[in-house]
Amino acid sequence: MSAWRRLRVKLRSVPGFLVSIRPTQRHTSPYGRLTLCRSLSTGSHLRNEFFKDLEAQLAAFRKKAADALPGSSWSPLQINPNLPPERADIVIVGGGVVGWSIAYWLKQKEMVRGGVRVVVVEKDPTYSQASTVLSAGGIRQQFSLLENIHLSLASADFMRNINEHLGVLNEDPVDLQFNQSGYLFLANEEVAHIMEENYSTQRYAGAKVSLLSPTQLKQKFPWVNTDGVVLASYGLENEGWFDPWTLLNAFRRKAISMGVIQCYGEVTDFKCTTNVLRTSSGDTVDLKRIGSVKVQMPNSLEYQPVECAIVVNAAGAFSGKLTEMLGIGSGPKDSIAGIPLPVEPRKRYVYVVHCPDGPGLDTPFLIDYSGVYFRREGLGGNYIAGVSPEEAEEPDTSNLEVDHQFFEERVWPGLAHRVPAFEKLKVTSAWAGFYDYNTFDQNGIIGIHPLINNMYLATGFSGHGLQHSPAVGRAVAELILDGNFKTIDLSNFSFRRILTQEPMLEKNIV
Amino acid sequence: CTVSAQMLPAVGSPPPCCQATLLLFLTQRFYDVEMLLSWRSQLTRNQLQKKNVYYGYTQRFYGLDIASAYFILSLKGGFRFAGQSEWFYADQKGKFSWDFLNHKDTPLEEVDMSYTVINYRGLCNLESQRSLRTLKLRGCPEVDDWFLARLHVFQDSLEELDISHCPRITTGGLAALRNLKGLKRLDVSSLPGISSPGLVIILLEEMLPQCQITATGYDYNLNEAEGEEEEEHMQRQR
């Protein structure tokens, strides 16, 4: 229709069009009278342009007329191609590494090709606030809970054979840039016994960890100041750090090649059916079942309700907000509906520092008992450092601005004390990211919510989501498709522990 | 060559040749072709894993050392027992003599697995050899960073390691060699996977001070820098 208007405007603006069509050839005689080559009329330029466009305009006009007549496939109602499908079997809310891992494993485990229709809904296509890409990217087996150790071991196995799992035909192989440098935990006198207990648990679970005395530590890593260190725990194998963006994209590419539908949009509402049950003491319990999810398109009022059978909450730092939409946490205080999902975003800073005299290629991911950590980044003497702040001084989570004062006050003293070479360093860059912090016990929540029959939770990993993502994805896929955990039993991580107020605390220091 | 009538795309155009017909046929069966190709790659992977399987049966009946020896010979490698001076090799066709069975319960001291397809899984067959002094892995296509990380089991005894010409080793794997504190000779020549070889060799030398590192086959010429200088020169001329 706009081509019509343009044509009419052109017709009106050029007077005498219908009268005479006389191209301007006055001054183009090759020999003889070379009159004034430059025409002084201001309309001739527009007229020339008009005639150049004319053929194209008439062709467009003819095409438009042909489209408007019956028999053509054009329709004035354009369908937005970015909308999710109207019906899906499983909607995964959250396109981070956990969400895409679940999508991949669902497709991997389905019995029939096209057996489950999976849609992954991600709010931000640039991943600017996603925890996955802002993480330091480390993986370790040095935990105190058996389940965490098994999850890390399984994820390391997955990453070792990543091309077997996530290799797509005719595409480049996946290169995680895995640095096999290990983690080094330092313990002072108070926590040394915890470290020894953890060591025996880790050895029992099959992790390759070794304990070092201060002399052995000094011999192995001469740049460490062993002041106050009584025991050190060092990972020999399957520990190190890698590129989280590569892992995310590998999962995404493979899942899309297997038929997962990706959608950029925000989940703003749910439509549920509620079953109201009455307990023996007369209280009512609302059991909800999600019927459809309302996905709002980015920067637009358009939305699409997606009818689904199962919803997976893998929204990371924003999972608490998602369950609030379903009314979890807004019931009476002493009922199950009154207990909110204890996951909230917590801001953590990561600083990139440059120190030319720092430790070399063998630098492990060092974590001090005071909470300060650092690791090597690249080969040019750059390191990544940070610390977990105390409960009292948690920074504000409304934005991802970096507080450089925090580095001077909390990170640098610890670093300089532990590694004397770091007294002379320069902060080159910094960023901040959110932890999907589980305020209850800082461990993941995996399983169905008791009040919403078809919402699976896979969130609250508090800084370990990335390193456990392949194994957690497999566990959730087993829960959904097989009904129960098959490879690693994560029933201790269900929502039940929050109802019974039995925390599964990590006896680790960071 | 004859062309079947139903494959002709249009009436007026010239008949397509055999190649185009074949490609059209394959395009219409895209998912089948994709499945066949993935089966083929799965088959090659399975064959590789079969070669590197855990020799538990041999271990149960003949002991750990004979099992490791048998594994090495099946993969066409070679080894030398501790205390003996002769090497046991398998030839190109995979034939080897069974004399090594005479030396029961003798640990292996030197192992040469150059140009074999040993991988991380296969290394579990050699883990029991805690007095291994020399390990040669020249040109092994399946040796990658995870394999190097697993070598920590030999940290007390290993003195010589040769990982030259292995295409899948990168800088992250070389960082794993820090555990081999007894290492005296290391050969990291011609590793195509490491990006800045000069810097990596210097960092390796700092990491392993008692070790003599051989690193030949790298082109340390400033080819890229020369190209940039030429460009600047040409721009100034313009």
Nearest to A436 by CA among A115, A97, A205, A195: A97
Smallest Cα distance from A475 to chain B, Å:
24
Chain B residue with minimum CA distance to A156: B146
Is A258 in contact with A107 (CB distance < 8 Å)?
A: yes
With an 8 Å Cβ cutoff, are A179 and B172 in contact? yes
With an 8 Å Cβ cutoff, are A379 and B200 in contact? yes
Identify the helix (H) or strand (E) that includes residue A90.
strand A90-93
Q: Count the residues in chain A.
A: 510
How many Cα atoms are found within 13 Å in the side-chain-facing hemisphere of B4? Answer: 7
ipTM rounded to 2 decimals: 0.85
Structure tokens at A402: 């970096």
Structure tokens at A355: 């120190």
With an 8 Å Cβ cutoff, are B150 and A181 in contact? no
Chain B residue with minimum CA distance to A169: B38
Nearest to A141 by CA among A98, A203, A193, A191: A203
- From the candidates B38, B179, B199, which should be mutated to test the interface with A, based on the most A CB atoms within 10 A? B179
With an 8 Å Cβ cutoff, are B200 and A164 in contact? no
**Res. B5 pLDDT band, cuts 50 70 90:** very low
Instruction: For A194, list phi and psi in degrees, rounded to 5.
Output: -65, -40
With an 8 Å Cβ cutoff, are B145 and A178 in contact? yes
Q: Strands of A266-278's sheet, edge to edge?
A: A266-278, A284-296, A303-307
pLDDT at residue B4, as a whole number: 45
- A32-64 as b/e, with b when 16 or more CB fall inside 10 Å? eeeeeeeeeeeeeeebeebeeeeeeeeeeeeee
Q: Using one digit for the tens of pLDDT, what is the confidence trace for B150-167?
A: 999 998 899 999 999 999
Strands B160-162 and A118-122: unpaired
Structure tokens at A467: 């390193």
Which residues are within 8 A (CB) of A194 and not within 5 positions of it... i.e. 6 or more apart?
Answer: A144, A187, A507, A508, A509
**Res. B10 pLDDT band, cuts 50 70 90:** low
Alpha-carbon distance of A226 to A224, in angstroms, equals 6
pLDDT at residue A392, as a whole number: 77
B201-205 average pLDDT score: 92
pLDDT at residue B11, as a whole number: 59
**Where would I find the beta strands (DSSP E) of A300-425?**
303-307, 310-313, 343-354, 365-367, 372-377, 382-387
Q: Which of A179, A236, A237 sits opposite B175 (nearest CB)?
A: A179
With an 8 Å Cβ cutoff, are A360 and B172 in contact? no
Smallest Cα distance from B234 to chain A, Å:
32
Alpha-carbon distance of A149 to A141, in angstroms, equals 5
Q: Long-range contact list for A495-501, CB < 8 A, 24+ apart?
A: A495/A445, A495/A447, A495/A448, A495/A449, A495/A450, A495/A457, A496/A447, A496/A450, A497/A440, A497/A441, A498/A339, A498/A342, A498/A440, A498/A445, A499/A336, A499/A339, A499/A450
Q: Using one digit for the tens of pLDDT, what is the confidence trace for A137-162?
A: 999 999 999 999 999 999 999 999 99
With an 8 Å Cβ cutoff, are A181 and B207 in contact? no
Chain A residue with minimum CA distance to B208: A362
Chain B residue with minimum CA distance to A209: B152
B47-61 average pLDDT score: 93
Apex A469 CA angle, A385 and A164, nearest 5: 110
Alpha carbon of A337 to those of A69, A293, A312, A449, A451: distances in Å? Answer: 58, 20, 19, 11, 7
Smallest Cα distance from B109 to chain A, Å:
23
Chain B residue with minimum CA distance to A183: B176
Domains and CATH numbers, chain A: 80-179+236-342+439-509 (3.50.50.60), 180-234+346-434 (3.30.9.10)
pLDDT at residue A49, as a whole number: 77
Alpha-carbon distance of B9 to B29, in angstroms, equals 17
With an 8 Å Cβ cutoff, are B150 and A361 in contact? no
Strands A90-93 and A303-307: unpaired
Torsion of the alpha carbons at B44, B50, B51 and B53, rounded to the nearest 10: 140
Q: Which of A178, A208, A220 sits opposite B172 (nearest CB)?
A: A178
Alpha-carbon distance of A223 to B86, in angstroms, equals 44
Phi and psi based region of residue A54 (left: phi greater than 0; alpha: psi -120 to 50; beta: remaining)? alpha
pLDDT in tens, chain A (510 residues): 555 555 555 555 555 444 444 444 454 555 555 555 666 777 777 777 777 788 889 999 999 999 889 888 888 888 888 999 999 999 999 999 999 999 999 999 998 988 999 999 999 999 999 999 999 999 999 999 999 999 999 999 999 999 999 999 889 999 999 999 999 999 999 899 999 999 999 999 999 999 999 999 999 999 999 999 999 999 999 999 999 999 999 999 999 999 999 999 999 999 999 999 998 988 888 999 999 999 999 999 999 999 999 999 999 999 999 999 999 988 888 888 899 999 999 999 999 999 998 898 889 999 999 889 999 998 989 999 999 877 777 888 888 899 899 999 999 999 999 999 999 999 999 999 999 999 999 999 999 999 999 999 999 999 999 999 999 999 999 999 999 999 999 999 999 999 999 999 888 754
* Relative orientation angle of helices A244-257 and A465-482, to the nearest 10 degrees: 20
Alpha carbon of A332 to those of A114, A341, B166, B210: distances in Å? Answer: 43, 15, 65, 69
pLDDT at residue A301, as a whole number: 93
Instruction: For A232, list phi and psi in degrees, rounded to 5.
Output: -135, 145
Q: Using one digit for the tens of pLDDT, what is the confidence trace for A18-75?
A: 444 444 445 455 555 555 566 677 777 777 777 778 888 999 999 999 988 988 888 8
Alpha-carbon distance of A251 to A96, in angstroms, equals 10
* B41 reaches A (C-beta below 8 A): yes
pLDDT at residue A148, as a whole number: 95
DSSP code at position B14:
P
With an 8 Å Cβ cutoff, are B152 and A180 in contact? no
* B170 reaches A (C-beta below 8 A): yes
* N- to C-terminal Cα separation, chain B: 58
pLDDT at residue A16, as a whole number: 47
* B43 reaches A (C-beta below 8 A): no
pLDDT at residue A19, as a whole number: 44
B46-63 average pLDDT score: 93
Residue A261, strand partner residues: A119
Partners of residue B148 in chain A, C-beta under 8 Å: 180
Alpha-carbon distance of A329 to A320, in angstroms, equals 10
- A interface toward B at CB cutoff 8 Å? 160, 164, 167, 169, 175, 177-181, 208, 220, 236-238, 240, 360-362, 379
Q: Which of B45, B146, B199 sits opposite A160 (nearest CB)?
A: B146
pLDDT at residue A21, as a whole number: 46
In terms of Cβ atoms closer than 10 Å to its own Cβ (0-12, 13-18, 19+), residue A228 is middle
With an 8 Å Cβ cutoff, are B207 and A164 in contact? no
DSSP code at position A388:
P
Chain A residue with minimum CA distance to B42: A164
Smallest Cα distance from A160 to chain B, Å:
7
Q: Using one digit for the tens of pLDDT, what is the confidence trace for B124-153?
A: 999 988 999 999 999 999 999 999 999 999
* B124 reaches A (C-beta below 8 A): no
Q: Which of B34, B38, B149 sits opposite A180 (nearest CB)?
A: B149
Partners of residue B149 in chain A, C-beta under 8 Å: 180, 236-238
With an 8 Å Cβ cutoff, are B45 and A178 in contact? no
Chain A residue with minimum CA distance to B151: A237
With an 8 Å Cβ cutoff, are B176 and A180 in contact? yes
Average pLDDT, chain B: 86
Is B153 in contact with B179 (CB distance < 8 Å)?
A: no
pLDDT at residue B3, as a whole number: 44
Is A88 in contact with A117 (CB distance < 8 Å)?
A: yes
Partners of residue B206 in chain A, C-beta under 8 Å: 360-361
Phi and psi based region of residue A14 (left: phi greater than 0; alpha: psi -120 to 50; beta: remaining)? beta
With an 8 Å Cβ cutoff, are A240 and B172 in contact? yes
Partners of residue A177 in chain B, C-beta under 8 Å: 170, 172
* N- to C-terminal Cα separation, chain A: 63
Question: Is B223 a residue whose pLDDT tops 70?
Answer: no
Task: Count contacts between A and B (CB, < 8 Å).
Answer: 61
